[in-house]
Structure 1
Amino acid sequence: MALSEFSLQYVPQKAVKGEALADFLAQHPSPYGFRGSEIDIGLVQTCDNYWTMHFDGSSIATSAGVGIVIQSLDHYRWCFSLKLDFNCTNNQAEYEAFIIGLHVLHDLRVARVLVLGDSELVINQLNGIFRCMSCTLAPYHMVAIYLAKSFERITFDHILRVRNIDADELTQLTSGA
């Protein structure tokens, strides 16, 4: 009231580049009330409350092996490289790696997992995009789905082989590929 004699006019401050979105979100909180720290914005996804598992399997004429890399919430990493003592296909080796990794995560009592693999067939079968039609893969698929249901939340993502280097190198150590 004391300043009314000075004919002041309010002009909102222009947004500083890079702060406009943050200011808008601060002034307009979401009515949906996000829980946890899982936020998906365009191409960026944060998964702070997920353990991650990279898996890979390989089979050649003389041997087969699997590689698994598990990372905890605290960014500790465990690497597993196992030689399979039976003949199998590449896809069977991929499923073996996935199932062994899930057993390890289950024994650690992990609730939320982000599974990353470079086998498009296995990941798409687990996501339900592809149907499992192979009689040799069907038992693996059934066990994998059964184990996946024991987690509170599990997500399967296909990644390129160049983003799965650690698991791939562990696999090559044991399979000789």
Structure 2
Amino acid sequence: MSEEKDAFYLVKKGDVVGIYKSLSDIQVHLASSVGSLEIYKGCSLSKKAEEHLALHGIKEAAYSISAADVSEGLFGRIVACPYQQPSHSGGKASDINLPSKVLRGADQLDNNLNVVGPSLFSSNSDRRQIFNAAQSDLSTCLSCIIEFDGAAKGNPGPAGAGAVLRAEDGSKVCRLREGVGSSTNNVAEYRALILGLKHATKRGYKHIRVQGDSLLVCNQMKGSWKTKNANMAFLCNEAKELTSKFLSFQINHVLREYNSEADVQANLAVNLRAGQVEEDCQC
């Protein structure tokens, strides 16, 4: 599975923290691991963090380090990857948190994100089911929701494109704005969708759900409406080419009142010069 270039995955087991570069590396360890794990995803490791890990790490994973050596701010912002206990195991899942020292290093990890780990398991069947559950749950770290909207003052007139990227739990990851120049509302809508898809590709997301209040864009992307206008056909094809980069993609029409945050970004973008992009992102 292709992943975000600079992403890293933090796995805490007992008093050891391992830092991995890919989900596949984690899954190899999950297949044979016994006991509970805590898994987080980070955007990138700073040079200072890598130097610290090289000094304190143990020869395993890309880096590994004693939890006692984790300093404040070491990992920047990290996001919890839910890791669920299989229903047949008979044990009760419980909330597990990294020590306060690590939480501070996580740059105020969102309070609504919980990490749950499985109870001890011993049979090969249990291990396989834990592996499969972990593989599924870790994919949520590569999933996002894109909300898009376009605005044009005059139709045609000064136009802007706006998009909001959200994690699976609904928390905002990024707000995006792009100036479209003098154009129609439909063009701005497509530009907003393309803006969101490009940014999702850049951040390494692989499972995408899109929503917007443009019936034209949603239905043309689904293939239920024809693209008779040459400009619309060009933009539709560009958007479809971007969707081929994801492992899964779906697009749905929503009412305008459920697309208000993307609408705010689109109206702000009207004041930007053509092609100018602004981003407000978590990391």
CA distance in 2, matches of 1:95, 1:68: 11
Match for 1:54 among 129, 143, 147? 147
**Scaled by the length of structure 1, what TM-score is found?**
0.69
**Scaled by the length of structure 2, what TM-score is found?**
0.44
Indicate the residue corresponding to 2:242 in structure 1.
147
Instruction: Quote how far apart the aligned CAs of 1:48 are.
Output: 9.0
Runs of 4+ in structure 1 off by over 3 angstroms are: 34-37, 47-50
Match for 1:82 among 158, 165, 178? 178
CA distance in 2, matches of 1:150, 1:66: 22
Work out which structure has the larger RCO, using CA pairs closer than 8 Å and 6 or more positions apart in sequence. Answer: 1
CA distance in 2, matches of 1:136, 1:128: 16
Match for 1:135 among 212, 215, 230? 230
Secondary structure of the corresponding residue to residue 140 of structure 1: helix
Q: What are the ranges of 5 or more consecutive residues in structure 2 without an aligned counterpart?
A: 1-87, 89-132, 272-283
Indicate the residue corresponding to 1:64 in structure 2.
159
In the TM superposition, 1:88-99 aligns within 5 A as 88-99=183-194
Instruction: Quote how far apart the aligned CAs of 1:169 are.
Output: 1.3
Contact 2:164 2:172 in 1 (8 A): no
Aligned length: 136
In the TM superposition, 1:1-177 aligns within 5 A as 36=136, 50-61=143-154, 62-73=157-168, 75-85=171-181, 87-175=182-270
Secondary structure of the corresponding residue to residue 141 of structure 1: helix
What letter matches 2:148 in structure 1?
Answer: F
Instruction: Quote how far apart the aligned CAs of 1:174 are.
Output: 2.6
CA distance in 2, matches of 1:151, 1:131: 24
The two structures, once aligned, show a CA RMSD in angstroms of 2.5
Larger radius of gyration: 1
Q: Work out the percentage of aligned pairs sharing the same amino acid.
A: 28
